[in-house]
Homo-oligomer: A and B are copies of this chain.
Amino acid sequence: MSALHHPADPVVIIGGGFAGLAAARMLGQAGVATILVDRQNHHLFQPLLYQVATAGLSPADIAAPIRTILRRWPTVSVVMDEVTGIDRARRAVRLASGAGLEFSTLIVATGARHGYFGQPGWAAHAPGIKTIDDAIRLRHQLLLALERAETMRAESRETRAEHLTFVVVGGGPTGVELAGAIAELARHAAERDFPHITRRCVRVLLVDGGARLLQAFPPSLSDAAARSLNALGVDVRLNAKVTGISAGMIMIGAEQIKAAVIAWAAGVAASPAATWLGAAADPGGRVLTGPDLALPDDPDIFVIGDTAAVPGPDGRPVPGLAPAATQMGRHVGQTIIARRSGRPAPAFRYRHAGSLATIGRSRAVADLGRARLSGHFAWLLWCAVHVWALAGFRNRLIVGTNWLWSYLTFDRAARIITQRPDLPA
Q: Which A residues lie at the B interface, using CB under 8 A?
A: 2-5, 39-42, 58-61, 63, 65, 67-68, 71, 74, 77, 79-81, 97, 99, 131-133, 136, 143, 147, 151, 153-155, 192-195, 394, 397-398, 401-402, 405, 409, 411, 413-420
B405–A195 touching, CB < 8 Å? no
> A413 → chain B, closest Cβ, in Å?
6
- Known A193-B68, A394-B411, A397-B405; contact A418-B132, beta-carbon cutoff 8 A: yes
- Known A60-B58, A151-B79, A401-B397; contact A39-B420, beta-carbon cutoff 8 A: yes
B401–A192 touching, CB < 8 Å? no
A415–B68 touching, CB < 8 Å? yes
Chain B residues, Cβ within 8 Å of A136 = 418
- Known A58-B60, A132-B418, A417-B40; contact A77-B154, beta-carbon cutoff 8 A: no
A65–B394 touching, CB < 8 Å? no
**Roughly how many angstroms separate A73 CA and B397 CA in the complex, as a whole number?**
33
Chain B residue with Cβ nearest A423: B97
- Known A71-B193, A397-B405; contact A151-B81, beta-carbon cutoff 8 A: yes
A60–B192 touching, CB < 8 Å? no
**A132 interface neighbour in B131, B405, B416, Cβ under 8 Å:** B416
Chain B residues, Cβ within 8 Å of A143 = 41
* A-B contact list, 25 entries, CB within 8 Å: A2-B154, A2-B155, A4-B154, A39-B420, A40-B417, A41-B143, A41-B147, A41-B416, A42-B416, A58-B59, A58-B60, A58-B414, A59-B414, A59-B416, A60-B415, A65-B193, A65-B416, A67-B194, A68-B411, A71-B192, A74-B195, A80-B147, A131-B418, A132-B416, A398-B402
B65–A415 touching, CB < 8 Å? yes
**Roughly how many angstroms separate A60 CA and B80 CA in the complex, as a whole number?**
26
Contacts A394-B413, A397-B401, A398-B398 aside, 19 further interface pairs with beta carbons under 8 A come to A2-B154, A2-B155, A3-B154, A42-B415, A42-B417, A58-B61, A60-B414, A60-B416, A63-B416, A67-B194, A68-B415, A71-B192, A80-B417, A81-B151, A394-B405, A397-B405, A398-B401, A398-B402, A401-B401
Chain B residues, Cβ within 8 Å of A133 = 418-419
**Roughly how many angstroms separate A71 CA and B193 CA in the complex, as a whole number?**
6
Chain B residue with Cβ nearest A395: B413
**Roughly how many angstroms separate A58 CA and B394 CA in the complex, as a whole number?**
14
> A82 → chain B, closest Cβ, in Å?
8
**Roughly how many angstroms separate A279 CA and B81 CA in the complex, as a whole number?**
53
Chain B residues, Cβ within 8 Å of A3 = 154
**Roughly how many angstroms separate A68 CA and B166 CA in the complex, as a whole number?**
22
Chain B residue with Cβ nearest A4: B151
> A187 → chain B, closest Cβ, in Å?
15
Chain B residues, Cβ within 8 Å of A99 = 151
**Roughly how many angstroms separate A151 CA and B405 CA in the complex, as a whole number?**
41
Chain B residues, Cβ within 8 Å of A81 = 151
Chain B residue with Cβ nearest A79: B151
Chain B residues, Cβ within 8 Å of A420 = 39
Chain B residues, Cβ within 8 Å of A60 = 58, 413-416
Chain B residues, Cβ within 8 Å of A74 = 195
